[in-house]
Amino acid sequence: MKKLLLFWTLLLCSLGVFAQEADSNLRIRFDLRFDGVFNTYLNNDTPNETGFEGRYFKLLIDGKIDEKFSYSMRQRLYKDNAFPSSFFGATDWAYLSYQFHPNWNISAGKQVVLIGGYEYDRAPIDVYFWSEFWNNVNPFQIGASIGYTSPDKRHNITAQVTNSPFFTETLSNCFAYNLIWYGNMGNFKTIYSYNAIEYKDNHFIHYLALGNQWTQNWFCWELDYMNRASAKQDNPFADFSIISRMNFDINSKTRLFVKGGYDQNKAQKAGTLNAFTYDLYVKPGVEYYYYGGGIELYPIERLKKTLRLHAFVYTNNRDPQPISFNIGIRWQMNVLNK
């Protein structure tokens, strides 16, 4: 642990020196969240669960080298159970971008796999309860992308190729091919994607993800629909997710929200787990729903949304059925911004 802290200290110092010498800009932040949790279970002898949790602790670094080259990185500083022996496994993203034209750019490195939908697109630190797909997806992979931004900056279309997120090995010989559109039509915004992802060599599952956002003054409604299908399916609409979230801004410091979702996979028989299981995130036979709501408070207006208090309650159809009450705090600490 001491060696890790020394490494990050030296890295941050060296980046600061680099920024000064290269006349570039640099921003370094820490992002943290802590929750108090009370879980109880209905119609079951399962004991209640209470306690405090450190949910997230992340380091974010981004900036520009010059007018055309920029970079971004997000590193988890807590133990990564998925890749306990891999330092790079705890890196959400670390990529370099080149703006070779006012409307075009290319990026390479570890990136977010470009899948549509507002629940997926939101930072995990801001997702309080979630769909089965969100809970299981592995969204960070090494790859490259090319993007086009319209002259009015209201639309972005990006094509991306990464390693398949179904595999932890980098040389799996399987890939994901992604095409996404971020659209801004004023009160209506979109995050739509088409994704072809290999679950076995030359065998694909296809995503059509449609993220929709409507805003009107103090009200915002996000509605996601994702359809997942393989060419081997008899019914192309048997595997899907629907997620809805509504935000109600009471004032500049207070937001209420409600959220619910439904995941279904009837494309294959329940319990089908083999080399030709199409959907490895919402597994065959799953029929899952969840719903809840809460409040977000931003007590210091000048800090905008870098400091947040939150409280929420939710439940789902797991057996035993839980009811979870959470209250917590999230804040960002700016280490350097120049």
The dihedral sign for the CA sequence 148, 154, 160, 162: positive
In terms of DSSP bridges, do strands 307-316 and 287-297 run parallel, antiparallel, or are they unpaired?
Answer: antiparallel
Mind listing the pLDDT tens digit for each residue in 76-97?
Answer: 887 655 554 456 788 899 999 9
pTM: 0.90
> Is 293 a residue whose pLDDT tops 80?
yes
pLDDT band at 12 (very low <50, low <70, confident <90, very high): low
Q: What is the pLDDT of residue 10?
A: 47
**Among 81-90, 93-102, 124-133, 304-313, whose mean pLDDT is lowest?**
81-90
Q: Residue 190: pLDDT above 80?
A: yes
Q: Which of the four pLDDT bands, split at 50, 70 and 90, describes residue 271? A: confident
pLDDT given at position 79: 60
Residue 4 DSSP symbol: H
* pLDDT tens digits, one per residue of 133-142: 999 999 999 9
Place 15 in a pLDDT band, splitting at 50, 70 and 90: low
Instruction: Please state which of the ranges 16-20, 25-29, 219-223, 258-262 shows the lowest mean pLDDT.
Output: 16-20
Domain with 283, as residue range(s), is 2-337
CA torsion through residues 310, 311, 317, 321, sign: positive
pLDDT of residue 5: 46
Look up residue 89 and give its two tokens.
């496994």
- Tell me: the pLDDT tens digits for 27-72? 999 999 999 999 999 877 889 999 999 889 999 999 999 999 999 9
When divided into structural domains, the chain yields a total of 1
Nearest to 162 by CA among 194, 196, 213: 196
d(CA 334, CA 13): 15
Residue type, 77: L
State mean pLDDT over 220-236.
Answer: 93
> Nearest CA to 268 among 240, 234, 242?
234
Contact residues for 138 (Cβ-Cβ < 8 A; gap 6+): 82, 113, 165, 166, 168
pLDDT in tens, 173-189: 899 999 999 999 999 99
Which CATH number characterizes residue 307's domain? 2.40.160.10
Residue 104 pLDDT exceeds 70: yes
pLDDT at residue 49 in the model: 92
Report pLDDT for 2: 47
Please tell me the predicted confidence (pLDDT) of residue 96.
97
Average pLDDT of the chain is 89
Decide if pLDDT at 23 tops 70.
no
Q: How confident is the model at residue 335 (pLDDT cuts 50, 70, 90)?
A: confident
Q: With 50 as the cut, is the pLDDT of residue 4 above it?
A: no
Q: Which residue has the tokens 């970079």?
A: 71
